[in-house]
Amino acid sequence: MIELALPAGTLENAIVAFEHGADAVYFGLKDFSARKNAGNFSFEDLSKIRRYSIEKKKKTYITINTLVDDKSLEKLYDTLERITEYGTDGIICQDLGAIRLIRRDFSSLPLHASTQLAVHTIDGVKALEDLGFERVVLSRELNLKEIEKIRNACPDIELKVFIHGAMCYGFSGLCMASFLKTGRSANEGSCAQVCRTWFEDLKSKEKLYPFSLKDLEAGELVKELERIKIDSLKIEGRLKGNEYVAATASYYRAIIDGEDPKPLHSAVKTSFQRISSTGYFNYTGPGHENLNTGLYTGHIGEEIGKVVQAKKKSIEVNELKRINQYDGLMLLSKNKNGLIASYKFSAHITRKEREKAILSLDESTNAKPGDILYRISNSTLNIKSPSLALAHYKTPLDIDIKIYDNKIVVNGEAYNIAMQKGEKDGYEDAIKRIFLQAGDAPFSPATIKIENKSSYEYPFLRPSDLKKIRRDAYEKIKPNHIPIKGYKIAIPKSKMSITLPPREKLESDAFPFGPYAVDVDGICYIIMPPVSYSEEEMLKSVLNEAKKHKKVRIGMNNISNLRFAKEHPEYEYFADVYLYMSNREAASLVFESIPNFIGCYLWLERKEYQKPWPIEPTIVDKFSPPLFISRSCYRHDSLNLDCKGCSREHRFEIEQNGKQYTVVVHNCQTAVSDVKHK
């Protein structure tokens, strides 16, 4: 059966998720988590949830899904060593350096590809399969037909798909808006959510929230994903609370199990949900469902009633659904700037008349008849906090017992013991019962092997003597059988390392839609795009262009490009700005994966690095990447314009706090850049 994976910002979230039907949870630790503001897990929490999940036959996945620079590699290595003490069902990774370390020194940790890797093509999935990944979390921008095409082409690797929660405007992993505008890196878990802020359209002079997408709610479409044979369904929300986790787990559990989910849907909406849609699942180009939230970007809950009459400090409401005393309610209205403002209050019902309710307010509002009343929390829903007094994980350890005349040896430690001839078989079961009682030992017996080397066919050993030996032996046994290695630099050295041209010399109006070619000092640089839905067509275009030139260097901008580079060793390759060379280990992974890897740009959020590297990275200086690369069409989704007669090629100008930006639409895709790229 298809797996249901829930987010866990805290240990409490994880337990709630399991109690309400989740098959798995995913969570970050205190470091290297793409949700830095979530509660995240300590190693003590990890110890508890690991034991709990094993006992309940559930799964746990750990997110190491940020980019890591050279100075953080040692800390990353230490974190991976600690994780191996407990084990996990998967490490969800973005950083190519982390992937190399796991492959090299921590092969017991299953590799799962984060959605931050922007995997949206067959070659992307196969490139990760080549690197040893067991599972790939696909980009949220794929429609059902595209997902099925990938599934059919890649039958031997597990695929995971987002089905519920917040939708980013830009491709996850490719979004630079937060870093460029605030200095807070989404690739380091500190996204400032620029997509949820307003911009002014310079032509209409309207203030808009053009990059705020509706929340995803797949609903019954998960049955179609199950038909496609997707392995796991992922719900977003590590920053959300127990109510959200419980509601979404219960709702999708019901759908997967073939039960009626309708009675559970209200709790989903009131726990946290913006205006929702099916996202890109049914996205098929022109005329698709509008994905933009409009002027209100926050939690909207569910429609609960309509205002019939409004007085100074009370409103009369026609109930669409029953309003409970102390429900969290909200009214929306436009403010003087033309933006939507919310008025939130607790339900104080002074009187009910059939399907009408009179609600008293603490302050005056500008509510008017016809306004919709929203319920944003339900006072009757009470998720009981689970106990966190859980037992800690114990390392499974094999116990080896050898019996000699008047002596017993436990994992190499010898003890004298009185021994008698037994009358019948059963001595092995008696010994196992005693040694299975590990008590406070930091391990639990996985297997107990007993060899009788004494002169007695059925030796009898007094239980009291065995218990004493067990206590002493278990105090001496050290379960930490995984040796502490510590990070050691092991970097191959290239003989072909070059300094690339300043990145701004490779700019083109075709970026990031590409591919395109630029001549610099007699060398043809072909730039592959970070996003490509027509992969075969794009690669054919790259080959046709490459054949026209004597000296060619091809820039890779997605993990999928590694496959092309392996298949065409006749060209030289470099890592462009979106195939992030964040550290020496990342560069080494690419160096070891493809021939003719001759150069790279340093991760564009860094201006320095620590030697050694397999090739010397070129620092990105004056080049400024797009804020957003999006599959959402700005013209259709943000400006709400009809697709009829659209040329699919447009340019718009927007402004925020005195800073201007250019929005380019190409074939229904959008790139938003600093206005200097005009």
The arithmetic mean of pLDDT across residues 545-549, rounded, is 96
Sign of CA dihedral 39, 45, 50, 51: negative
d(CA 232, CA 219): 15
Q: What three-state secondary structure class fits 639?
A: coil
d(CA 434, CA 73): 44
263 and 8 Cβ atoms separated by less than 8 Å: no
The arithmetic mean of pLDDT across residues 433-437, rounded, is 91
pLDDT, one tens digit per residue, over 261-292 is 999 999 999 999 999 999 999 987 788 889 99
Asked if the model's pLDDT at residue 6 lies above 90, the reply is: yes
d(CA 269, CA 212): 18
The arithmetic mean of pLDDT across residues 437-458, rounded, is 88
2 and 251 Cβ atoms separated by less than 8 Å: no
Q: Is residue 445 exposed (0-12), middle (13-18) or buried (19+ Cβ within 10 Å)?
A: middle
Report the percentage of the chain scoring pLDDT > 90: 82
Token pair, residue 428, equals 């092995």
DSSP 393: P
639 and 201 Cβ atoms separated by less than 8 Å: yes
Q: Which of 330, 368, 358 lies closest to 346 in space, CA to CA? A: 330
Token pair, residue 15, equals 């337990």
Question: Which residues partner with 666 through β-bridges?
Answer: 649, 669
Asked if the model's pLDDT at residue 677 lies above 60, the reply is: no
What is the amino acid identity at position 623?
Answer: F
Asked if the model's pLDDT at residue 483 lies above 70, the reply is: no
Contacts of 203 (CB under 8 A, 6+ apart): 652, 653
Query: What does each C-alpha distance from 256 to 144, 222, 244, 337 come to in angstroms?
Result: 18, 7, 18, 45
Q: Could you give the angle at the alpha carbon of 284 between the alpha carbons of 279 and 290, nearest 5°?
A: 45
Please provide the average confidence, as pLDDT, over all residues in the chain.
93
397 and 443 Cβ atoms separated by less than 8 Å: yes
d(CA 235, CA 140): 11
Q: What three-state secondary structure class fits 376?
A: strand
pLDDT bin (cut points 50, 70, 90) of residue 496 is: confident
The arithmetic mean of pLDDT across residues 413-430, rounded, is 89
Q: What three-state secondary structure class fits 388?
A: coil
What is the amino acid identity at position 637?
Answer: D
pLDDT recorded at residue 297: 96
The arithmetic mean of pLDDT across residues 577-601, rounded, is 96
461 and 422 Cβ atoms separated by less than 8 Å: no
Query: What is the C-alpha radius of gyration for the chain, rounded to an integer number of angstroms?
Result: 30
d(CA 161, CA 279): 12
Rounded to the nearest angstrom, the gap between the alpha carbon of residue 501 and the centroid of all alpha carbons in its chain is 34
d(CA 587, CA 275): 42
Asked if the model's pLDDT at residue 440 lies above 80, the reply is: no
pLDDT, one tens digit per residue, over 89-102 is 999 999 999 999 99
d(CA 600, CA 666): 28
Token pair, residue 460, equals 């009898």
Q: Is the preceding omega at residue 7 within 30 degrees of 0, hence cis?
A: no
Q: How many residues does the chain have?
A: 678
pLDDT recorded at residue 497: 79
pLDDT, one tens digit per residue, over 376-407 is 999 999 888 999 999 999 888 899 999 999 99
d(CA 515, CA 524): 13
Report the percentage of the chain scoring pLDDT > 70: 98
Q: Cβ atoms within 10 A of the Cβ of 96, count?
A: 26
pLDDT, one tens digit per residue, over 305-342 is 999 999 888 999 999 999 999 999 999 998 887 889 99
The arithmetic mean of pLDDT across residues 57-80, rounded, is 96
- Among 57-61, 258-262, 510-514, the least confident range: 510-514
pLDDT, one tens digit per residue, over 133-175 is 999 999 999 999 999 999 999 999 999 999 999 999 999 999 9
Helix (H) or strand (E) holding 599: strand 597-600
pLDDT recorded at residue 307: 95
Q: What is the β-pairing status of strands 158-165 and 232-235?
A: parallel
Q: Cβ atoms within 10 A of the Cβ of 418, count?
A: 9
519: left (phi over 0), alpha (psi -120 to 50) or beta: beta
pLDDT recorded at residue 480: 55
Q: Is residue 642 exposed (0-12), middle (13-18) or buried (19+ Cβ within 10 Å)?
A: exposed
pLDDT, one tens digit per residue, over 15-58 is 999 999 999 999 999 888 767 776 789 999 999 999 999 999 99
Q: Is residue 269 exposed (0-12), middle (13-18) or buried (19+ Cβ within 10 Å)?
A: buried
Mark out the alpha helices in 87-239 (DSSP H runs).
Answer: 96-105, 122-130, 144-153, 177-182, 222-228
pLDDT recorded at residue 678: 40
The arithmetic mean of pLDDT across residues 537-564, rounded, is 97
Residue 466: phi and psi, rounded to 5, are -65, -40
In the block, tokens 């697709």 appear at 643
pLDDT recorded at residue 236: 97
